[in-house]
Amino acid sequence: MAGDKSARIYESADVVVIGFGAAGECAAIAARERGADVIALDRANGGGATAISGGIIYAGGGTTVQRQAGVNDTPEQMLAYLRLEVGDAVSPETLESFVRSSPGMIDWLSSYGVPFSPALCPYKTSFPNNRYYLYHSGSENAGAFRCHTPPVQRGHRVKGSGTSGRKLYAPLAKAALALGVRFWPHTTVTNLIQDSSGRVTGVEALTMHNAPPRIRRLYAAMAELSAKPGIYYPPLRRRLEGRLRRLERRYAEPVRIDARRAVIICAGGFIANTDWVRRFAPQYLGGLQLGTSGDDGSGIALAQRAGAVTDRMDNVSAWRFITPPSAFIGAIIVDRRGDRVIDESRYGAAVGQAMIRQHQGAGWLLADAALMREARRQMIKQPLWFQRAQVAALMLADAVTAPSLREVAKAAGIDPDGLVATVAAHNTAIDTGAPDPAGKPAEFVRRISQPPFTLLNISVRPSLLNPTPMLTLGGIRVDERSGAVVTESGEPIAGLFSAGRTAAGICSNSYISGLSLADCVFSGRRAGTHAATTSAAQSPR
């Protein structure tokens, strides 16, 4: 692809990074650590989905934070657990490299100002409140996993109030700039430049870099609003995105940036691209798009036009969390037939996946009076404000209560005979000391016997009160040794690398909290390191 002759701005760098969330930041920093001159581009303000995330890093094997908390973990234990979750998403060698480098990853992030805390959460939850920062963030406690390896807390929540993703993004951004990374926000890459051999040698983009200061401030403010508020109210995002495009048409200038060594695409996934979700994973159309408007697959499409191929594009993570309150782990999840759906101690993405793929998205949480009383008591201290609001809405607007199992089943539209039989099997297992029928560990099992009974509707469906967050896990295929983007034959595309959710990676089979951000750090550093040591005369391998 030839360069754009109409470009008014010309720049060059050793490495050009597209997207400035966690993967892009880590790629840029790693490249600068090896002396490369780096320009990082972002279509919005920077941060991407990282800045609006919960800020969880999945790490273990004996991190500094784990040791401070008194948590005993080994690389072998972490590897045994992740083998079950990751499956064949990456090679055994790559997974072991990820695990072995995990303690050093936390130290590396800390060295650049990312704050962590050893405050250990004493109960199982989907996301801890502001008192706790190290917790079981996956399915470590569930029966199918603890029989292989002891449950260990590996969810390292970056220290900060609420969802603390910005506390991960901001220190890394500051560090990147201090190291000399040249950051261009409000710059949308439109094309990759390739020479006659197919090597990627730069990018073409549209930038607001030279727009009047007043316009740039307006653009930045609207991009900020479009990010997190726009997730929860899509009409707001659509209006803001329309205004942003109008500003670009008036003020954006074409720019060509030559890459002397490589381009690294870290532009996120494609959950914001409804057409792509409908094409690759139509059963996931009813969820909350967990990402920014930049997660539209544009980075994947750039790589495809240069010869890249994709992998696992049909794999979407759908989150159906039932905690907090932690008491709800003792409830059971049933479908329309009244059958159990899954071990309720599993991570919320596993719950959502089971509901969508095996139960047509339907699911209800069944609790008796004693469990509901305990859950209401826990609502005082366990949740953060937004969790409390969601659970309160679920209890008030999406629940039915009745004095008998048959009556509550009829009220919810569930088969009464099926529900009665399921509860009988559940209680009989408790009374006889038999294993739970769904494999839930004994410490979480509660007898369901005290009326009235409540069914809370946690089905996967469009809902303002109780939405199902979703993110895409597939992306372009890369060489796992370097992060180089590869063709169908497995050959690397010279001068092109990728990281984060633009690329298939560690979390592309099964998502647990923190595994995506950890993969962004791991794959970003890998791509940055190899891109910085690539020259125009050599292959990325």
User: Residue 464: inside a domain, yes or no?
Assistant: no
Q: Residue 96: is it exposed, middle or buried by C-beta count within 10 angstroms (0-12/13-18/19+)?
A: middle
Q: Are residues 265 and 137 both part of a single domain? A: no
pLDDT digits (tens, 9 = 90+) for 349-397: 999 999 999 999 999 999 999 999 999 999 999 999 999 999 999 999 9
| Predicted TM-score (pTM) of this structure | 0.95
Q: Percentage of the chain with pLDDT > 70?
A: 98
User: Residue 194: inside a domain, yes or no?
Assistant: yes
CA 76 to each of CA 82, 99, 108, 139, 388: distance values in angstroms, whole numbers, following the listed order: 10, 9, 21, 17, 37
Residue 284 pLDDT > 80:
yes
Residue 538 pLDDT > 80:
no
The answer to whether residues 207 and 214 touch, using CB atoms and an 8 Å cutoff, is no
Report the alpha-carbon distance of residue 415 to residue 183 in Å, rounded.
58
Q: Are residues 358 and 420 both part of a single domain? A: yes
What pLDDT sits at residue 230?
85
The per-residue DSSP string of 158-196 comes to: PSSSSS-THHHHHHHHHHHHHTT-EEE-SEEEEEEEE-T
Report the alpha-carbon distance of residue 249 to residue 253 in Å, rounded.
9
What does pLDDT average to over the chain? 95
The answer to whether residues 464 and 389 touch, using CB atoms and an 8 Å cutoff, is no
The answer to whether residues 380 and 129 touch, using CB atoms and an 8 Å cutoff, is no
Segment 6-17 shows an average pLDDT of: 88
Closest CA to 54 of 176, 164, 181, 182: 164
What pLDDT sits at residue 540?
41
User: Residue 2: inside a domain, yes or no?
Assistant: no
Q: Percentage of the chain with pLDDT > 90?
A: 93
Confidence of residue 233 (pLDDT cuts 50, 70, 90): confident
What is the total count of domains within the chain?
A: 4
What pLDDT sits at residue 465?
80
pLDDT digits (tens, 9 = 90+) for 416-432: 999 999 999 999 999 99
Segment 112-119 shows an average pLDDT of: 98
User: Residue 341: inside a domain, yes or no?
Assistant: yes
Q: Are residues 344 and 422 both part of a single domain? A: yes
DSSP annotation of 489 reads: T
CATH code, domain with 264: 3.50.50.60
Segment 203-215 shows an average pLDDT of: 96
Segment 279-284 shows an average pLDDT of: 96
E-assigned strand segments in 79-153: 134-135
Please count the other Cβ atoms lying within 10 Å of the Cβ belonging to residue 490: 9
Structure-block tokens of residue 504: 């298939």
CB within 8 Å of 158: residues ≥ 6 apart? 55, 56, 57, 114, 115, 116, 133, 164, 165, 167, 168
CB within 8 Å of 255: residues ≥ 6 apart? 7, 8, 9, 10, 11, 187, 204, 205, 206, 207, 209
What pLDDT sits at residue 6?
66
Residue 220 pLDDT > 60:
yes
What pLDDT sits at residue 310?
98
User: Residue 541: inside a domain, yes or no?
Assistant: no
Closest CA to 394 of 457, 468, 341: 457
What pLDDT sits at residue 517?
98
Determine the 3-state secondary structure of 309 from DSSP: coil
User: Residue 510: inside a domain, yes or no?
Assistant: yes
Query: Which range marks the domain in which residue 509 is found?
Result: 9-53+164-209+253-317+471-533
Q: Are residues 172 and 302 both part of a single domain? A: yes
CB within 8 Å of 415: residues ≥ 6 apart? 336, 337, 338, 409
CB within 8 Å of 395: residues ≥ 6 apart? 456
Q: Are residues 266 and 246 both part of a single domain? A: no
pLDDT digits (tens, 9 = 90+) for 138-191: 999 999 999 999 999 999 999 999 999 999 999 999 999 999 999 999 999 999
Q: List b or e across 294-311, with b for residues whose CB sees 16 or more CB atoms inside 10 angstroms.
A: bbbbbbbbbbeebbbebb
What pLDDT sits at residue 234?
86
Confidence of residue 22 (pLDDT cuts 50, 70, 90): very high
What pLDDT sits at residue 535?
77
Confidence of residue 539 (pLDDT cuts 50, 70, 90): very low
CB within 8 Å of 16: residues ≥ 6 apart? 38, 39, 40, 41, 202, 203, 257, 259, 262, 263, 264
Report the alpha-carbon distance of residue 397 to residue 406 in Å, rounded.
21
- Positive or negative, the Cα torsion across 431, 435, 439, 440? positive
**At which residue do the structure tokens 């991570």 appear?**
347
Q: Are residues 181 and 43 both part of a single domain? A: yes
Q: Are residues 170 and 306 both part of a single domain? A: yes
Q: Are residues 271 and 371 both part of a single domain? A: no
Report the alpha-carbon distance of residue 422 to residue 76 in Å, rounded.
38
Q: Are residues 193 and 182 both part of a single domain? A: yes
What's the farthest any 2 CA atoms get from each other in the chain? 78
Q: Are residues 168 and 292 both part of a single domain? A: yes
The answer to whether residues 154 and 73 touch, using CB atoms and an 8 Å cutoff, is yes
Segment 59-63 shows an average pLDDT of: 98
User: Residue 462: inside a domain, yes or no?
Assistant: no
Closest CA to 73 of 58, 91, 55: 58
Query: H-helix or E-strand containing 364?
Result: strand 364-367
DSSP annotation of 233 reads: -
Better pLDDT: 539 or 265: 265
CATH code, domain with 325: 3.90.700.10
Q: Are residues 350 and 383 both part of a single domain? A: yes
User: Residue 74: inside a domain, yes or no?
Assistant: yes
Report residue 49: phi and psi, to 5°.
-70, -25
Q: Are residues 116 and 194 both part of a single domain? A: no
Beta bridge partners of 253: 207
